[in-house]
Each structure stands twice: as structure tokens, then as C-alpha cells.
Structure 1
Amino acid sequence: MSRMMLAANTGLNFLPFSSSHDKFANHPLSCFHSSRTDRVQFKGGIFAKRRCECFDLHKELVPYKQAWSWQKSIVETRHALVHRDEDHSDNLIVLQHPPVYTLGTSSSEKYLKFDIQNAPYDIYRTERGGEVTYHGPGQLIMYPIINLRYHKMDLHWYLRSLEEVVIQVLQSTFSIKASRLEGLTGVWVGSQKIGAIGIRVSRWIAYHGLALNVSTDLTPFRDIVPCGIQDGEVVSLSGLLGGPSSCSADANRVLMETTCESLLKKFSEHFQISLEHRSICELDISEEESQRTDAEK
């Protein structure tokens, strides 16, 4: 398979439940503040890191349709910047999602253990590759939108890099030994999957990313065959640390904060980028784009 064909079909993705979260309805992402720092370069004894605008919403439950629109809008903007040789900064969105099942473009409904017409949660068929997965509260989602031209134009390298970030976070912050399983994408602790990873790449702009089960209620995974892996088991960080995912809200909040801080730190270190935190502000999503997103549901 050619690199471009692989780019069009690689990945899993993490997305959510169309509910009425009005505070997000009219202000998708984002203030693209372009500040030029290209590749990591050694200049005058100083490493100049590529910048990455970080939209940290990890405390929020952002509906799938909204987050999906944000990503597509950013990718379209980035393509235009690349065309003008003005793509000076990557982007990163961190958030949680309300409960949802997502399918890839070619996903098989045989991995659903329920009638799709009577699904327990909303289902979205996305443009990503991969099989069905679940996303919900307590799961930390990270969507890097990265121009691989400024990193490494190798999709396998990028997938392994995202895995490595999660593996390092679990080891350095929680003393949990995590690993890869040969032939599969994601992060495991023993035989239990804790991190789902998947990407979509469009003209070397990578988006979607990773989902890490922090204090996630794992019950909804029972109604699917996660990622199409028969007899696959999932686990949460909270469960590994000796507490059920249903432990106190305060404990879960602290665990989420700690995990997010560590994930951002390891992500910036591994990719040698400088994170610059940005706030959500007005970004008009066209009616045409909204209709296209609805059509892909």
C-alpha cells in the first residue's frame, strides 16, 4: 500500500453524543495566531522549537459534532497556509466527550452487539479508518493537528510516537508499565487496552489522535467488540491504581488533572514543540461545512 493510500485509511478516532451543550454551539475553535518557528533548528547555540497552539478543554464534555467540526475547520485552514508557505504552528485540542460510539469509513456493524436502530448512545460513522470504539466522560482525548512535513513524513513513526507518549506518562507519573502489542495500534497494560490511538492524514496534515481511559466507565465497551479485537479487554487508569472508575468526583478530578498535565508535558517533549495555550473564541463554521458533517454522521 502506498504512503498516500495509507494516509487516507489509517486510524481510529475519538468522538461523541449529539446533546445540547449550548455553550459550544456558536463558537468553535479558534484564533489561529501564526507565529513563525518552523522545524527544530540549532541556531546560535539555541534550539528553536516549532510552536503548537494548545486548546485545553480537558474539564469539558464537548459534543462530537462540535469537536469534529473544529478539527476539519483547522485542517482546511492549515491546508491554505501550507499553500502560501505560511503554516507556522501546529494545533492541539484536549477534551472529554459525552458517551458515543464511532465507526470508521469501512467499519463492520458485526462488531456492534446491539440493534443499530436502537443504539444506547449516538453512533457516528467518521472518515477515519479502524473499527468501532467508545468514548465517554473520564476518557482524556487529545487531538493533535500536526504538519508531518515539519516532523517526520512517516505515518508508522507518528503512530508509534503517540503510543510512546502514553507509555511514558504511565511509567513516569504512575509507575505503571505499559507496552505495545505486536501488529496492533494502541497501548496496553498486560493484555488490557488502556489507550486507543488513531489518525487521519490529509496532505500530510495529521488529525484525530489518542484516547486514554483515566476514570472512564468501561461498561459501554461490553456492547461492542472494541476496535474489532475479539476477546479484547479494556482497563482504566483509576482501576489500575486500585480504585473503581466510580470513586469520588474529587478523586477523579485530581487524577484527570494530573494525567492531563503529564500528557501535555510528554507530548511537547517527545515532538520537540513549544505549547502555547489559547482560549476558545469565535470561529464561524459555514453552513455548508455543518451540512457536510451531518451527512457523515
Structure 2
Amino acid sequence: MTAQGHEPRASQARTDAYPLQILELGRISYANAWQFQKLRHDSVLEGIVPDTLLLLEHDPVITMGRGGLPEHIYVTGEILAKKGIELFWVERGGMATYHGPGQLVAYPILHLRDRDLHAYMERLLDVLEATVEHFGVKAERSVHGPGLWVNGAKVASIGMAVRKWVSYHGIALNVSLDLSPFSLISPCGNPTERMTSLERECGKKIDLSDVQKVFVDNFLRVFGYYQKPDVGEGHPSWLVRHLPSEKEVRPVEHLVSGLGLHTVCQEAHCPNRHECFARGTSTFLVMGDICTRACRYCAVTKGHPKPLDPEEPSRVAEAVARLGLSTAVITSVTRDDVPDGGAGHFAAIVRAIREKSPQTHIELLVPDFQGKQESIERVCAASPDMFNHNIEAVRRIFAQVRPRADYDLSLRVLQKAASLGLRVKSGLMLGLGETWEEIAGTLRDLYDHGCRYLTLGQYLAPSSHHVPMRRYLAPDEFVHWKNVAMDMGFLDVASGPLVRSSYRASAMLERAL
């Protein structure tokens, strides 16, 4: 499947086809797409990921290629800003063009194995021409330069760049685009150029998603690719870990088990547990190892837990002291059977650690307490150094993975802690079938509700009985989302395939203090 969940399609043209990853980015700002293009170009060049086709729509923007001149823009930057149109000078070929909603933009990031730029351009035109003709429109190519024309008006443009024989930038096909902003520029340096759209030439409404499907089929056929499945046999290389020796791991395991404690590292099958144990750290799982909820992504056992152990706070404090932790991360199973959801227990643990190890910083990773304000206030009154509550999934998918929780309630939990002056952190799993637009929307929701610290990691299903993983995200996507979040205003972001909500929490907390 693609990033949007479509089934992969295979090329019918060649039996020696290369794999192609197709990422559908939805509507995205030019800055974010441009940044990610460069990240993905490096990943393709280094062989981390296969050749890639990015499909998207841009927010309104004018871009100027290497041949562009200031006089190709007829209005001032102030007027563009008032119209909500951005301006970028970029490294692609060509001059001025406009991108906006209703225009299919495709950025092929491909190894040009034959090292023939002319042949690459012709294949792009083959794809565009076949796509337009599928909708009953006869096009001409390269009338005034690279592109397609219909009845003397331009319907598609090409502006590419190549570095080390890997392409980037690409094509724009006007489907249902508002063409009026083209009057603000000299399109491709031609002041007499007329622009048109597929919808205008067909005389009827055309869905961009339908055009995109036809475009992809033609691209696979013309270039001789097959669409790489998002989930294959085995994990990709970036998820393979080299485990430390048992000698390094056992001291933490023995100490924790000897004190009758649990760690989320073990109970949730965390892929980083051996690394953390070898470094002498762990995340303590309190209030037992049985959860009252049945979240469909989580490996922790579900059922009817035992009553809370009043001696547990002192045992956690003892473990923290013996390990000499600079930062202690405490989380819990969800205890809906306890009137305050375990808020008092969390507070008691904070007090016990502070009494025995006053130099230790404390992060609490808490459940939603069913939204009970007095429970949230009780935890916050204990003054942990970091208040963490994970959103886990984007709004559309949230109910599928957390059927007994509520997306907006979790946001309110974070907002309450922020309003009480605490540092607030949350985590989001990726790879559940969310779109790029949904990820961006969730980051905005978190930020708007006071969250300033963030973790982003790859979802890995603990078993076949859990919600299946839909897609592996490559490391460059995690770099991209970290950049997006930091630009949004988050103060610190840990983002990577193996990042978990408490992974190296001490480093983030030390930077925050």
C-alpha cells in the first residue's frame, strides 16, 4: 500500500522492473515538500530506500527556477503575501510557474541509470501525454519548451533537477486548478503563454485522485517500475539492532525483579530495552502489570488487576537510588478500577523518589485518568519535571487503536497540565495508515493544547492479534517530521524509527531544565 493506503500496482512493460516507492503527501506547503525532496534524494542516493515518486498538491506558491528573473513576477512580494501566495527561488530548471490546489504535482526521485537527460524528459512527457489522453484530450508536447499544450494552451509543465544522476523536482499537471494566479507571472518566461486545465478542456468536473491513479499506472509502465509494497518480508535494515551482551543487561533485570517491580521495557516488548538496560536505565511500570483497558496496539496484559501495593513507591525509590539514575521515568497500566485512576499512587512515588534521591529528575508518563480534573491536578501538584501523556495515533485512527479512550480527552489532559505550569510531552506512533496531512494536523493539535516536547516512532505490531502495521517509514521521514515540529514551535523532538515515548528521556529532560 502507499502512504494513503492504496494497493500497489505493478508495471506491465518489463520483467526486469525496478522497485518504486510511491508516497502520497496530500496537500503540503512548498517549503516542507522541498525540504523532504532533498532528504529523500540523499536516501535514494545512499541506497537506504528505493527510487521514489512523491505525489502531492501544493499550497499556493510561485516558484522560480534557475532561469527565472525578477521581471518574470509582475507584482510585489507584499501583494503576493496578501493573496496568500508564497515565493521560492529553487534549483530546478525553467523559470516562473505557479502551483496550487487542484494541480497534480509529481516529484520523481530516480536513479537515471542510462544517464540520458533527454530520454528522461521524453519519458516524463510520455507519461503526461498518456494521462491526458486517457481523459479524451489530445495534447501536443514541447510547443514553447518542456511541457504539454492543448489547443495552444499549456496544461502541464516540467522543471527538473539532477544531482549525481539522481533526479528531483518534476512535473505539474493542471487538473482543476484556479488558473488566475498565472496572470501574476510570465509563465516559464513567456509573457504570451496561455494556461489551461484538464477540467477546462474536458468541460466537466474531474477528480484529481482519478487523474493521479492514471498517472501512476502510466509512470510504472513507461519507466519500467513496479510499486514496492509498504510492508514486506522482514524488517528494513534501519530497524535491525545489535544487542548488548547479557552481562551488560542482567544487573538491571535482576535489580528490578528482585524488588518485585515491573518495567514497561519488558511488558511492552520495547525494541530498545536491551540498550537501555545496558546503559543502566529503565522505565518503571507501576500499579501492576495488568491493564483494565484493551488498547489494540499494546502488548501489556489486559484483565482484572490486583489492588494497589502501598509499598511500591518505596521500592521504586530504592531501585532509582541503587541504579543512581539522573532521570527516573515512571509509567503505569491504566487503572480504571481505582477511583482516582492511580493519581495518588503517582504522587506518592514522586515523593518517595524525591526523599531518597533528591537530585533525580522525574518524568511521569500517565494515562488519561478518564479526564478527571482532580486526578490530573493531584499528579501535577507532585511537580514532576516532565508530564507525559501519549496521544498515540491521529484522530481518524485513534478509536481503532484505543477504543476505550478519546482523542479530544487526551488533548484536554495535556492542556490541563500545561495550564498548571508543567513541561508537557506526548508521543505519536506512525505507520498505522495515517496520511501526511493527518500527521501534520495531530502535531498542530498537540501544540495548540500546550505540548512542547514530542516523540515520534515507528509502530510495530506486538503480535498478529494487534492492529497491523500499514507502512514502514524510512529514517528521512522521521527527520522531516522532527523539522516540521520544530518549525511549528516544539522545544524538543525525538523522532526516529526506534524512538519510544521514554527512550533516552533523560537527555530530553536535561536539555529542558
Fold equivalence (TM over 0.5): yes
Q: Offset of 1:160 from its aligned partner?
A: 1.3
Aligned to 2:91: 127
Rounded Cα–Cα distance in structure 2 between residues aligned with 1:125 and 1:277: 35
2:180 matched to which residue of 1? Answer: 219
The residue aligned with 1:163 is 125
Report the alpha carbon displacement of residue 128 of structure 1 after superposing the two structures with TM: 1.5
Mapped partners of 1:100, 1:277: distance in 2: 32
For the residue of structure 2 that corresponds to 1:258, the secondary structure is helix
Judging changes above 3 Å, is the alpha-carbon distance between structure 1 residues 181 and 48 closer, same or farther for their aligned structure 2 residues? closer
Structure 2 residue aligned with 1:110, among 68, 71, 83?
71
> Could you tell me the TM-score, scaled by structure 2's length?
0.42
Q: Which amino acid is the alignment partner of residue 68 of structure 1?
A: W
Cα deviation for residue 101 of structure 1 reads 0.4
Q: State the partner residue of 1:97.
A: 58
Aligned equivalents of 1:213 and 1:277: distance in 2? 29
Give yes or no for contact 2:74–2:185 (8 Å, CA) kept in 1.
yes
Distance 1:54 1:225 in 2: 32
Match of 1:33 in 2: none
Kept in 2, the 8 Å contact 1:54–1:277? The answer is no
Post-superposition Cα deviations, 1:107-141, rounded to whole Å, max 9, x if no partner, equal 10111110234323110111122111000000001
How many Å separate the matches in 2 of 1:157 and 1:238? 29
User: Does the 8 Å contact 2:148/2:154 carry over to 1?
Assistant: yes
- SS at 1:56 equivalent: strand
- 2:141 match: secondary structure: coil
Establish whether residue 69 from structure 1 lines up as the match of residue 35 from structure 2.
yes
Contact 2:20 2:228 survives alignment (8 Å): yes
- Aligned partners of 1:219, 1:268: CA distance in 2, in Å? 33
- Determine which structure has greater relative contact order: mean sequence separation of CA pairs < 8 Å that are 6+ residues apart, divided by chain length: 1
Aligned partners of 2:61 and 2:98 also within 8 Å: yes
TM-score under structure 1 normalisation?
0.71
Deviates further, 178-187 or 69-78: 178-187
Q: 1:189 to 1:155 in 2, by over 3 A?
A: same
CA deviation digits over 1:86-121, x for unaligned, max 9?
Answer: x77210110101100011234101111102343231
Q: Does structure 2 conserve the Cα–Cα contact (< 8 Å) formed by 1:56 and 1:277?
A: no
Q: How many residues align?
A: 228
Structure 2 counterpart SS, 1:188: strand
Whether 1:50 and 2:18 are equivalent positions in the alignment is: yes
Equivalences for residues 197-216 of structure 1 within 5 A: 197-216=158-177
Query: Residues of 2 paired with 1:262 and 1:187: CA distance?
Result: 17
What residue in structure 2 maps to residue 146 of structure 1? 110
Q: Distance in 2 between matches of 1:168 and 1:114?
A: 36
After TM superposition, the structure 1 stretch with the greater mean CA deviation from structure 2, 121-130 or 277-286, is 277-286
Aligned partner letter, 2:52: N
Does residue 1:174 correspond to 2:140, yes or no? no
**Percent sequence identity over matched residues?**
31
After superposition, residues 144-293 of structure 1 pair within 5 angstroms as 144-149=108-113, 152-171=114-133, 173-182=134-143, 184-243=145-204, 251-252=205-206, 255-276=207-228, 278=230, 281=473, 282-285=477-480
Report if aligned partners of 1:159, 1:198 keep a CA contact under 8 Å in 2: no
Separation (CA, whole Å) in 1 of partners of 2:202 and 2:144: 27
AA of the residue aligned to 2:116: D
Deviation at 1:183, TM superposition (A): 5.8
Supply the RMSD in Å over aligned alpha carbons.
2.4
CA-CA distance at 1:78 after TM superposition: 2.3
Q: Is the 8 A contact 2:104 2:173 kept in 1?
A: yes
Could you tell me whether the CA contact under 8 Å between 2:43 and 2:49 is conserved in 1? no
- Determine which structure has more spread, i.e. the larger CA radius of gyration: 2
8 Å CA contact retained: 2:44, 2:109 = no
Between Structure 1 and Structure 2, the one with more strand by share is 1
Cα distance, 1:48 vs. partner? 2.9
Supply the distance in 2 between the matched residues of 1:127 and 1:204 (Cα, whole angstroms): 15
Distance in 2 between residues matched to 1:62 and 1:116, nearest whole Å: 21
Structure-to-structure mapping, 1:75-86, within 5 angstroms: 75-81=41-47
Runs of 5+ unmatched residues, structure 2: 4-10, 231-432, 437-472, 488-513
Q: 1:222 to 1:277 in 2, by over 3 A?
A: farther
